[in-house]
């Protein structure tokens, strides 16, 4: 009899707790106050949450239909470490147009709250076609029914559902504005530490990292012809040739280990190269040692002197005006267009050293898509070093430091100012060595 009373009590309490959970999580949010429709950006501005476009809304339905939410959460919790891994904690207003919500509690796959803008669309198309091409140890299933045949280059052709799905994924996290400019930012100057002595001989460990995380794009021999390459508009770096775009060293020089560390950690904006901050620092240094074995240049040459970036001149209307004259003088519009949209008369003819098409940067996107980094100092560095292997030359022999700053300011004027990471004089000095 006593056991029966205990069972009845337990059942009653279960009903009470279940009812309380339904009331608190399902009904209470809609009672007593307005549903949040705004978010606070990383710059402290209160802005309205943006609804999904028709394409993004369709992609959300595909996301639900294909069961992506079984394994991927969409909620960055305000607890220690989550913001360092995924980005800023979630805000209520970000879910204003989400019905049903897909917070999720299981993270068999990574959280996708801040996935938008992390990599280019073509990475996602490759990932959905066969995740193991991109991440060899992935347990995510393939979605071949989202593709319809192949094109003339052997690239699987995404269906409308696949295009919509990627559009939805790229929307995730975008309500906060250009938050990535502050996330995982590593300076491009002499503040980057040198390779620790403990990993100088870490080639074998680096090979393990390479085979787990890099081989899909760059290929086993570093020839840039991994299975993912066919999907990518910006082709993977060919390590065998030892030519690297993003350096702090003069044009024609090999990069420093610090340059490679920065690229691996931050990724390359607007391309399929993601940020690899989830690799331990030790593994990043290890894989650098292995990457250097692909080219004899690292055995036969030493990096040139690191370019010291002088303090930024004031960004004034006069500086912008002088920069416009230099933009014309250096014929930047031939590639990037008069309006900075990357539609200059030479744009369609540009090729890299390996014959691949090269799309000039669209400056109207601002710092969001600047491959070299989101700070004005990064653009100055690119103007000083050039992007080896591409048609983008170095202006170090043609423009003095003040003129390069004027050109930076004019290029910045094409895009939204809040997309750039503006460093204080102290931060810039600490990061870039002046």
Which residue bears the tokens 């430091």? 401
Residue 414 lies in a domain: yes
| Average pLDDT estimate for 150-172 | 97
Integer Cα distance of 215 and 235 in angstroms = 13
Task: Kindly tell me if the per-residue pLDDT of 7 is higher than 80.
Answer: no
Task: Kindly tell me if the per-residue pLDDT of 336 is higher than 70.
Answer: yes
| Pair 171, 208 in one domain | no
Which residue bears the tokens 């933009």? 327
Q: For position 29, what pLDDT does the model report?
A: 61
Tell me which residue of 381, 391, 321, 389 sits closest to 361, measured CA to CA: 391
Tell me which residue of 218, 229, 404 sits closest to 327, measured CA to CA: 404
| Pair 212, 337 in one domain | no
Q: For position 15, what pLDDT does the model report?
A: 87
The DSSP annotation for 138-191 comes to --PPP-GGGEEEE-TTSPEEE-HHHHHHHHHHHHTTGGG-SGGGGTT---SSTT
Task: Kindly tell me if the per-residue pLDDT of 263 is higher than 80.
Answer: yes
Among 300, 325, 360, give the residue marking a domain's end: 300
Predicted confidence band of residue 69 (pLDDT cuts 50, 70, 90):
very high
| Pair 165, 203 in one domain | no
If you compute the radius of gyration of the chain from its CA atoms, what whole number of angstroms results? 25
Taking only the tens place, the pLDDT of each residue in 119-130 is 999 999 999 999
Task: Kindly tell me if the per-residue pLDDT of 365 is higher than 60.
Answer: yes
Domain count, the chain: 3
Among 243, 271, 300, give the residue marking a domain's end: 300
Residue 171 lies in a domain: yes
Residue 12 lies in a domain: no
| Average pLDDT estimate for 76-80 | 85
Q: Which residues pair with 357 in a beta bridge?
A: 351
Count CB atoms within 10 A of the CB of residue 191: 14
Q: For position 253, what pLDDT does the model report?
A: 97
Taking only the tens place, the pLDDT of each residue in 87-127 is 899 999 999 999 888 888 778 899 999 999 999 999 999 99
Q: For position 190, what pLDDT does the model report?
A: 44
Q: For position 31, what pLDDT does the model report?
A: 63
- Min mean pLDDT across 5-14, 48-57, 255-264, 344-353 is at 5-14
Q: For position 146, what pLDDT does the model report?
A: 98
Q: Are 374 and 367 in contact (CB under 8 A)?
A: yes
Q: For position 34, what pLDDT does the model report?
A: 65
Using CA atoms, how far residue 397 sits from 23, 62, 195, 251, 393, in Å, is 69, 53, 31, 11, 10
Integer Cα distance of 387 and 243 in angstroms = 9
Which structure tokens are listed for 87? 């980005």
Residue 310 lies in a domain: no
Domain containing residue 325: CATH number: 1.10.760.10
| Pair 284, 394 in one domain | no
C-alpha count within 13 angstroms, C-beta hemisphere, residue 113: 28
Tell me which residue of 128, 76, 131, 78 sits closest to 104, measured CA to CA: 76
Integer Cα distance of 136 and 354 in angstroms = 27
| Pair 172, 203 in one domain | no
Residue 187 lies in a domain: no
Which residue bears the tokens 């279940």? 18
Predicted confidence band of residue 305 (pLDDT cuts 50, 70, 90):
very high
DSSP helix/strand/coil, 46: strand
Integer Cα distance of 232 and 122 in angstroms = 6
Integer Cα distance of 394 and 372 in angstroms = 14
Tell me which residue of 148, 149, 128 sits closest to 138, measured CA to CA: 128
Predicted confidence band of residue 395 (pLDDT cuts 50, 70, 90):
very high
Q: What residue spans of 24-120 are helical by DSSP H? A: 54-65, 82-85
H/E stretch holding 39: strand 38-40
H/E stretch holding 240: none
| Pair 295, 322 in one domain | no
| Pair 321, 409 in one domain | yes
| Pair 53, 166 in one domain | yes
Q: Which residues pair with 4 in a beta bridge?
A: none
Q: What percent of the chain has pLDDT over 70?
A: 92
Predicted confidence band of residue 198 (pLDDT cuts 50, 70, 90):
low
Which structure tokens are listed for 307? 């370019």
Residue 156 lies in a domain: yes
H/E stretch holding 38: strand 38-40
Task: Kindly tell me if the per-residue pLDDT of 2 is higher than 80.
Answer: no
Q: For position 82, what pLDDT does the model report?
A: 85
- Residue scoring higher pLDDT (181 or 169): 169
| Pair 48, 155 in one domain | yes
Task: Kindly tell me if the per-residue pLDDT of 199 is higher than 70.
Answer: no
| Pair 143, 213 in one domain | no
Range of the domain at 201: 197-300
Q: What is the mean pLDDT of the chain?
A: 90
| Pair 96, 122 in one domain | yes
Integer Cα distance of 87 and 114 in angstroms = 6
| Pair 229, 149 in one domain | no
Residue 149 lies in a domain: yes
Task: Kindly tell me if the per-residue pLDDT of 400 is higher than 50.
Answer: yes
Environment class of residue 373 by beta-carbon count within 10 Å: exposed (0-12), middle (13-18) or buried (19+)?
buried
CA 361 to chain centroid: 15
Q: For position 290, what pLDDT does the model report?
A: 96
Q: What percent of the chain has pLDDT over 90?
A: 71
Residue 13 lies in a domain: no
Task: Kindly tell me if the per-residue pLDDT of 71 is higher than 90.
Answer: yes
């Amino acid at each position: 009899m006593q056991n029966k009373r205990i069972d009845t009590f337990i059942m009653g309490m279960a009903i009470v707790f279940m009812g309380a959970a339904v009331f608190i999580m399902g009904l209470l949010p809609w009672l007593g106050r307005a549903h949040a429709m705004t978010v606070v950006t990383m710059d402290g501005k209160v802005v309205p949450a943006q609804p999904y476009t028709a394409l993004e809304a369709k992609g959300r339905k595909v996301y639900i239909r294909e069961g992506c939410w079984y394994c991927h959460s969409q909620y960055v919790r305000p607890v220690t470490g989550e913001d360092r891994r995924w980005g800023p904690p979630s805000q209520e207003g970000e879910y204003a147009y989400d019905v049903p919500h897909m917070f999720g509690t299981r993270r068999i796959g990574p959280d996708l709250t801040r996935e938008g803008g992390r990599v280019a669309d073509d990475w996602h198309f490759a990932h959905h076609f066969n995740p193991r091409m991109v991440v060899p140890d992935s347990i995510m299933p393939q979605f071949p029914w989202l593709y319809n045949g192949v094109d003339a280059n052997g690239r699987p052709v995404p269906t409308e559902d696949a295009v919509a799905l990627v559009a939805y994924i790229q929307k995730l996290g975008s309500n906060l504005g250009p938050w990535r400019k502050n996330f995982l930012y590593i300076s491009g100057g002499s503040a980057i530490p040198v390779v620790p002595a403990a990993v100088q001989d870490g080639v074998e460990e680096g090979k393990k990292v390479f085979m787990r995380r890099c081989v899909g794009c760059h290929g086993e021999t570093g020839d840039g012809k991994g299975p993912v390459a066919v999907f990518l508009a910006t082709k993977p770096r060919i390590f065998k040739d030892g030519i690297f775009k993003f350096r702090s060293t003069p044009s024609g020089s090999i990069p420093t280990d610090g340059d490679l560390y920065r690229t691996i950690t931050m990724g390359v904006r607007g391309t399929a190269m993601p940020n690899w901050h989830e690799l331990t620092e030790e593994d990043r240094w290890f894989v650098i040692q292995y990457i250097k074995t692909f080219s004899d240049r690292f055995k036969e040459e030493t990096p040139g002197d690191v370019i010291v970036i002088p303090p930024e001149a004031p960004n004034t209307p006069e500086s912008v005006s002088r920069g416009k004259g230099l933009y014309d003088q250096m014929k930047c519009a031939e590639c990037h267009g008069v309006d900075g949209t990357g539609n200059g008369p030479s744009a369609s003819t540009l090729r890299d050293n390996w014959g691949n098409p090269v799309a000039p940067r669209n400056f109207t996107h601002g710092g969001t898509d600047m491959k070299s980094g989101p700070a004005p100092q990064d653009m100055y560095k690119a103007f000083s070093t050039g992007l080896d292997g591409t048609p983008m030359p170095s202006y170090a022999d043609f423009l003095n430091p003040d003129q390069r700053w004027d050109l930076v300011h004019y290029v910045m004027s094409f895009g939204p100012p809040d997309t750039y990471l503006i460093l204080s004089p102290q931060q810039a000095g600490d990061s870039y060595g002046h």
